[in-house]
């Protein structure tokens, strides 16, 4: 191997070290609950910000500038169309993130998993 050349095995090993292989790690119920609580709290923050009169106006404006506009402009030259479309898709992804977090906040809060000694005896 010379310079910056990497073989497939090295690339996969590096991706695994960074947690970027797409493999899902098993998580305990406790960790899943903590993650759900964290997402719920972030969702509540988004909801608190965007559920005010000013926040609704800002969210509406952002939606007009992103989700309610086409991503791809066929009038652009072909060498500009792809970068512009990808940029617009990125903007839409941010809006979807905001809307998803707000939806999480509007759902019931996560419930703590039952401990193994709480199993009812029959």
Domains of the chain, by residue range, sit at 28-106
Tell me the per-residue pLDDT of 107-116, one tens digit each, with 9 for 90 and over.
999 998 877 6
| Confidence label for 55 from pLDDT (cuts 50, 70 and 90) | very high
| Torsion-angle region of 19 (φ positive above 0: left; ψ -120 to 50: alpha; else: beta) | left
Tell me the per-residue pLDDT of 31-52, one tens digit each, with 9 for 90 and over.
889 999 999 999 999 999 999 9
The pLDDT, as a whole number, for residue 87 is: 92
Give me the mean pLDDT over the 53-57 stretch.
97
pTM value is: 0.68
């Amino acid at each position: 191997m010379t310079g910056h050349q990497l073989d497939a095995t090295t690339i996969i090993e590096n991706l695994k070290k960074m947690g970027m292989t797409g493999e899902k790690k098993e998580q305990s119920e406790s960790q899943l609950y903590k993650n759900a609580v964290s997402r719920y709290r972030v969702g509540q923050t988004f909801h608190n910000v965007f559920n005010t009169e000013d926040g609704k106006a800002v969210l509406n404006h952002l939606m007009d500038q992103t989700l309610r506009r086409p991503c791809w402009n066929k009038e652009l030259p072909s060498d500009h169309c792809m970068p512009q479309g990808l940029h617009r898709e990125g903007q839409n992804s941010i809006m979807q993130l905001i809307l998803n977090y707000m939806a999480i906040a509007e759902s019931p809060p996560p419930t703590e998993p039952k401990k193994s000694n709480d199993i009812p005896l029959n």
